[in-house]
Amino acid sequence: MLSKTDFYIDGAWVSPAVPATLDVINPATEEPCAVISLGSAADVDRAVAAAKRAFPAWAETPPAERLALLRRLREIYASRIDDVAAAISAEMGAPIRLATQAQAGAGLAHLDAFLRVLAEFEWERPLRDDAMGEHILLEPIGVCGLITPWNWPMNQVILKIAPALGAGCTVVLKPSEVAPLSSMLVAEMVHEAGFPAGVFNLVNGDGPGVGTALSAHPDVDMMSLTGSTRAGIAVTKTAADTVKRVSLELGGKSPNLVFADSDVAAAVRRGVVQCFNNTGQSCNAPSRMLVERGIYEQAVEIAAATARDTVVGDPKEDGKHIGPVVSEAQFGKIQGLIETGIAEGARLVAGGPGRPEGFNRGYYVRPTVFADVTNEMTIAREEIFGPVLSLIPFESEEEAIAIANDTVYGLSAYVQTGDAERARRVARRLRAGMVHVNGATRASGAPFGGYKQSGNGREGGTWGVEDFLEVKSVAGWIAAE
């Protein structure tokens, strides 16, 4: 079993101020795969002090030099991508192919995207041509506390650290204590790349301990969190006393609108696969499938068959199967919500409670599909975060939009239609930060984020860099000769 009990602070691996260990559980075996330390306010103080000391020099480092260090980090990450994938597979149960291609691969793709953006970024500019002497400077906000989740560890870590460091900020990263091992590899890579001491710091811990201490710290200028809406509310409240910026990427209950003029079989199969991807543990999963009444029973049959064909397997084995969910707590939550769906009258057409056949240990969940769900049911309103899909019929485009928008969330939405005009019309009316039409994927550098209780701010591309910048207006600017 791995022992990873130190934190990375001020350019070195250091022991925690107060010993407190936690086992990292492999969800496929229910056995510990590593032991880490849980930090305290004293560890946060030490990390923030290091970041604060490092900030002035790092902020004044020419952008080209910061970019060169990020390029070096990218090279090291690419050379260790198999290590990253193995860590992710062990800590949160992603099948090794998914862990390599999608999970670890997402980190590399985001690094590439930010390198392109930062190479062309305008750090200062005139307000406009006719506003003589008015100049705009974009400057790093300062010390940033970064809290990342367990479900897509490298996707979120790189979406935060690359733009923050590229912008000239210094950071203290708190990865999820459930899945911290891949983030600790990133700390090793940052060290190897040669970033100055204090620019990047990592303290493991839980939300009430390290998360709260970071959010409340008077020397932290910004908090960026990806996690549950509950966690986002807690961080926002704690950060309010020091009026720091808070950027949030939170939960979702994304609708997938399937119209009769679409390729129904392909659209429904794609929707089920997307919902079950990463064992349903994605904030943007299309977990509510809204289907036009005329094709509804056909869609139910296709969805049920697709779920039955979904293979559940050991994360260590190669293949396109799904793995376990991340923890005993998550397994219990999902089982409870499946039971609630049955109790509230939804029609179970695939899956159901318990483990899949052939599994007597590990946090494996049966790929599950409910039909005849109403938008008032618990399974249609709460984020399940597992391989559970709800099908809801609709009569008209107007009703479909109303059902889709009837949620506290607004992260993603999906539209399946053969009518280009309808696709544009519906996309404009959906209250979500991202809309996918007919299976289209997001382009590199596209903004990621949502409306309502799905958060605020945007990650990725130019928007991701701007999140970590302050805007300074200088009147009477004297141009260099």
Angle at alpha carbon of residue 467, lines to 461 and 471, rounded to 5°? 115
Set 33, 91, 283, 383: catalytic member = 283
Burial (Cβ within 10 Å: 0-12, 13-18, ≥19) of residue 393: buried
Catalytic residue list contains 65: no
Instruction: Give the pairing of strands 134-140 and 469-475.
Output: antiparallel
Exposure letters 87-114 (e unless 16+ CB within 10 A, then b): bbbbbbbbbbbbbbebbbbbbbbbbebb
Q: Write phi, then psi, for 384 (nearest 5 degrees).
A: -80, -40
Closest among 97, 151, 476, 39 to 317, alpha carbons compared = 97
Q: How far apart are CA 67 and CA 71, in angstroms?
A: 6
Q: H helices within 351-438, ranges in order?
A: 378-381, 397-405, 420-429
Taking a C-beta distance cutoff of 8 angstroms, is the pair 262, 366 a contact?
Answer: no
| Catalytic-residue membership of 275 | no
Q: Which residues contact 101 (CB under 8 A, 6 or more apart)?
A: none
**Residues with Cβ within 8 Å of residue 421, at least 6 apart in sequence:** none
- Which one of 177, 249, 292, 459 is the catalytic residue? 249
Q: How far apart are CA 188 and CA 12, in angstroms?
A: 10
42 with 205: CB under 8 angstroms? no
Number of neighbours of residue 339 by Cβ within 10 angstroms: 12
Active site residues: 249, 283
